[in-house]
C-alpha cells in the first residue's frame, strides 16, 4: 500500500511543474484537492489496517507546534475580530461606504484563505513524504523520481530556449532573458533546477561511497578511481547533473545560480565534517563539475552580472517600504498572503510608478508583514528546525544519509534564494522542497531506532 501511495505522490509531483510551475488559482485548487486528498486517503488506509504512523508526531513536536501556531493565527486573521484587533482599514471602509462592515485582522481575507490553502497543501506533502520514506528504499525512489523530473524539465528548458526563445509551445509566447522550462519565469525555474542539482549531488555521493581508496595513496590515483567509480556506479546521475547545470546557467538568474551553489556549499561543508574520505572526494568531484560548467556555460550569468551587478536599487526601496509597514503592525500583521494589497497602502515615489508589485521578492519580509513577527518567526523556525534535523542525520548516520544530506542542501538553497526572490511561493518549488524535506527528516534517524507511534 505504501508503494502505491509513493507512486501516486511521485506522479503528482511530476504534474506540479507542468502548469507554469503550479502558479495561479486553478493549479492551486487542483493541488489542494490532489495532495491533501492523497494524505487523507493514506491516513484512512492506516486506520483501516490498524497501523500507526511510521514516523511519530512526537519526534517533530516542536516544528509541529510552531506550524500549528502559525496556522491558528492565520485562522484568527480571517475570522471576525474585535475592534482592537481588526485592521483600521475596515473601519475607514465602513465609514466611507456607510455600511456595517465586520472588521478582521487581514486586509485581504480572500487572499489569506488562498495562502492558507497553499500552506496546508505543502504541509500535506511533507507529512506524506515523512511517513512513506521511513524505509530507505522508498526514500531513494522518491529522490530518483524528483531528480528524473527535474532533468526532464531541464531538457525541455534547453530545447525551448534553443528552438522557441524560451516559449512554452501552445501555452505562451517567447520569454526573453533565459531558460525557464515550464515555469512562468526563469528565477523560479532556477530554484527548481537547483533542487534537482542537490538531489543528484546526494545520489552521486551515495554511489561513490566506499569506491575510492583510503588515505596514503597518491591523489591522482584516488581521483582516477573516483572517476571510474562515477562512470560505473552513477552514469545516469552524472549525466543528469550536467544537464541540470546547463539549464541552470541557461536561466541567467543571478539569485537562482548563487542559491544553487549555496546549497552545494552547505552539502560540501557538511560532508567535510565526516571522516569518510570518499565522501570528501565525491564533494570535490561535484564542485569540479560545477566549476567546469561555470567556465563553459556561464556566459549568460556573467553577462547579467556585468549589466545589473548583484544589487537591485528598486528592490532595496521596496524592502524599506515593507520594513516600515511591518513596524506599523509588528504583532498582528496585515494578513497572510496580503502583500499586494498591503504594499499599495505604503508605496511611495522611491519605487517606480510602473508595474505592480505582487510579491515582495523576499519571502522572510513577506511572511513577517503578513503574519506579524510572532507567527511569522514561528513558521520560519519550524522549517529551520526540520532542516537542522536533516543536518544532524547527515552527520551521524553511517548508512542511508543521502536523503538527509539532499534535504539539508535543499533547505540551504531555498533559504538563500528567499532573501532575494519569491520562488518558495511558486507551488511546484514548495511541493518539491517539502517532499525532499519529509524524506530527509524520515531518514535523519537510524533504522534501528523506533520512530513509530
Q: Is the pLDDT of residue 274 over 70?
A: no
Residue at 69 is within a domain: yes
Q: Is 142 strand, coil or helix?
A: helix
With beta carbons less than 8 A apart as the criterion, state whether 403 and 140 touch. yes
Res 25: pLDDT: 92
Please answer whether residues 156 and 193 qualify as being in contact, where contact means their C-beta atoms are separated by less than 8 angstroms. no
Q: Is the pLDDT of residue 291 over 70?
A: no
Beta bridge partners of 183: 20
- Compare 382 and 174 and report the one with higher pLDDT: 382
Could you tell me which residue, 402 or 278, shows the higher pLDDT?
402
Contacts of 443 by beta carbon, 8 Å cutoff, 6+ apart: 133, 134, 136, 139, 393, 397, 400, 401, 402, 403, 404
Of 225-229, 372-376, 439-443, the one with minimum mean pLDDT is 225-229
Q: What value does the mean pLDDT take over residues 150-178?
A: 87
3-state helix, strand, coil in the chain (%, to 5): 70, 0, 30
Classify residue 55: in a domain, yes or no: no
Grid coordinates standing for 109?
A: 481575507
Q: Pick 73 or 229 by higher pLDDT.
A: 73
Contact 193, 244 (CB under 8 A): yes
Residue keyed to cell 475596515: 90
In the chain, the number of structural domains is 1
pLDDT, residue 277, reads 45
d(CA 136, CA 332): 42
CA distance 253 to 14: 23
State the pLDDT at residue 390: 96
User: Domain for residue 215, yes or no?
Assistant: yes
Whether pLDDT at 304 is above 60: no
Q: Measure the N-to-C terminal CA separation of the chain; round to a whole number of Å.
A: 18
Tell me the CA distances in angstroms from 195 to 68, 208, 380, 430, one per residue in order: 26, 20, 19, 10
Confidence of residue 174 (pLDDT cuts 50, 70, 90): confident
Enclosing H/E stretch for 441: helix 427-442
Q: Is the pLDDT of residue 423 over 60?
A: yes
409 is a domain residue:
yes
Q: Take residue 136 and report the three cell numbers written for it.
A: 530507505
Its pTM stands at 0.90
If you average pLDDT over residues 11-29, what whole number do you get?
Answer: 94
Q: Average of pLDDT values for 228-254?
A: 85
Distance (Å, rounded) from C-alpha 111 to C-alpha 120?
Answer: 14
Whose cell is 475580530? That residue is 81
What is the C-alpha separation between 141 and 439, in angstroms, rounded?
10
Q: What's the pLDDT score for residue 313?
A: 61
165: alpha, beta or left? (left if phi > 0; alpha if psi -120 to 50):
left
Q: Based on DSSP, count helices (H) and strands (E) in the chain, helices before strands.
A: 18, 0
In the structure, what pLDDT confidence band is assigned to residue 275 with cuts at 50, 70 and 90?
low
Q: What's the pLDDT band for 219 if we cut at 50, 70, 90?
A: low
Residue 128 lies in a domain: yes
| Residue 73 in this model has a pLDDT that exceeds 60 | yes
What pLDDT, on the 0 to 100 scale, is given for residue 177?
A: 75
Cα 258 to chain center, whole Å? 15
- Give buried/exposed letters for 138-172 (b at 16+ CB in 10 A, else e): bbbbbbbbbbbbbbbbbbbbbebbeeeebebeeee
Confidence of residue 216 (pLDDT cuts 50, 70, 90): low
Chain-wide mean pLDDT for the chain? 87
User: What pLDDT, on a 0 to 100 scale, did the predictor assign at position 428?
Assistant: 96
In the predicted structure, residue 278 carries a pLDDT above the cut 50: no
Residues in the chain: 453
The set of cell numbers assigned to 215 is: 588515505
The range of the structural domain enclosing residue 225 comes to: 2-49+63-310+360-442
Whether residue 371 contacts residue 388, with contact meaning beta carbons closer than 8 Å, is answered with: no
Asked if the structure places residue 353 within a domain, the reply is no
Q: Is residue 355 assigned to a domain?
A: no
- Residue 221 is predicted with a pLDDT of 63
CA 406 to each of CA 130, 194, 387, 409: distance values in angstroms, whole numbers, following the listed order? 14, 11, 10, 5
Question: Residue 125: inside a domain, yes or no?
Answer: yes
Q: For the ranges 37-46, 67-76, 156-165, 281-290, which has the lowest average pLDDT?
A: 281-290
> What's the whole-number mean pLDDT along residues 2-20?
95
Phi first, then psi, for residue 185 (nearest 5°) are -145, 160
What is the percentage of the chain residues whose pLDDT exceeds 70?
86
At 435, the pLDDT band (50, 70, 90 cuts) reads very high
In the predicted structure, residue 294 carries a pLDDT above the cut 80: no
Poorest-pLDDT segment among 9-13, 214-218, 329-333, 339-343: 214-218
Please give the grid coordinates belonging to residue 275.
Answer: 571522516
Amino acid at each position: 500500500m505504501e508503494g502505491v501511495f509513493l507512486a501516486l505522490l511521485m506522479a503528482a509531483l511530476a504534474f506540479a511543474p507542468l502548469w507554469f510551475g503550479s502558479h495561479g488559482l486553478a493549479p492551486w485548487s487542483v493541488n489542494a484537492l490532489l495532495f491533501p486528498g492523497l494524505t487523507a486517503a493514506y491516513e484512512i488506509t492506516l486506520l483501516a489496517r490498524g497501523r500507526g504512523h511510521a514516523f511519530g508526531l512526537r519526534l517533530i513536536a516542536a516544528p509541529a507546534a510552531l506550524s500549528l501556531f502559525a496556522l491558528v493565527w492565520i485562522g484568527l486573521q480571517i475570522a471576525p475580530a474585535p475592534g482592537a484587533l481588526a485592521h483600521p482599514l475596515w473601519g475607514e471602509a465602513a465609514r466611507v461606504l456607510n455600511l456595517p462592515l465586520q472588521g478582521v485582522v487581514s486586509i485581504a481575507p480572500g487572499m489569506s484563505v488562498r495562502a492558507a490553502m497553499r500552506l496546508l497543501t505543502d504541509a500535506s506533502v511533507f507529512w506524506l513524504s515523512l511517513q512513506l520514506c521511513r524505509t530507505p528504499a522508498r526514500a531513494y525512489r522518491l529522490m530518483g523520481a524528483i531528480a528524473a523530473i527535474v532533468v526532464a524539465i531541464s531538457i525541455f528548458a534547453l530545447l525551448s530556449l534553443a528552438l522557441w526563445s524560451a516559449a512554452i509551445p501552445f501555452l505562451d509566447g517567447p520569454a526573453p532573458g533565459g531558460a525557464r522550462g515550464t515555469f512562468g519565469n526563469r528565477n523560479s525555474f532556477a530554484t527548481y533546477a537547483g533542487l534537482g542539482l542537490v538531489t543528484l549531488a546526494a545520489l552521486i555521493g551515495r554511489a561513490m561511497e566506499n569506491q575510492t581508496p583510503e588515505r596514503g595513496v597518491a591523489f591522482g590515483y584516488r581521483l582516477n578511481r573516483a572517476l571510474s567509480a562515477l562512470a560505473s556506479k552513477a552514469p545516469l546521475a552524472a549525466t543528469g547533473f550536467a544537464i541540470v547545470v546547463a539549464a541552470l546557467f541557461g536561466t541567467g538568474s543571478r539569485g537562482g545560480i548563487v542559491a544553487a551553489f549555496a546549497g552545494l556549499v552547505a552539502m560540501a561543508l557538511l560532508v567535510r565534517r565526516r571522516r569518510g574520505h570518499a565522501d570528501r572526494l565525491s564533494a570535490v568531484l561535484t564542485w569540479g563539475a560545477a566549476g567546469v560548467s561555470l567556465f563553459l556555460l556561464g556566459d549568460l550569468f556573467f553577462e547579467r552580472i556585468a549589466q545589473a551587478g548583484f544589487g537591485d536599487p528598486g528592490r532595496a526601496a521596496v524592502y524599506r517600504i515593507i520594513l516600515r509597514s511591518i513596524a506599523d503592525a509588528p504583532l498582528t500583521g496585515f494578513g497572510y498572503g496580503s502583500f499586494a494589497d498591503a504594499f499599495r497602502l505604503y508605496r511611495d515615489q522611491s519605487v517606480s510608478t510602473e508595474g505592480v508589485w505582487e510579491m515582495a521578492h523576499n519571502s522572510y519580509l513577506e511572511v513577517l508583514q503578513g503574519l506579524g513577527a510572532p507567527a511569522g518567526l514561528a513558521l520560519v523556525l519550524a522549517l529551520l528546525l526540520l532542516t537542522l534535523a536533516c543536518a544532524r542525520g547527515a552527520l551521524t548516520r553511517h548508512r542511508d544519509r543521502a536523503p538527509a544530506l539532499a534535504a539539508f542542501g535543499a533547505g540551504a538553497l531555498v533559504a538563500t534564494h528567499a532573501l532575494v526572490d519569491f520562488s518558495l511561493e511558486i507551488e511546484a518549488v514548495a511541493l518539491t522542497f517539502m517532499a525532499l524535506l519529509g524524506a530527509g527528516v524520515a531518514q535523519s534517524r537510524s533504522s534501528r531506532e523506533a520512530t513509530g507511534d
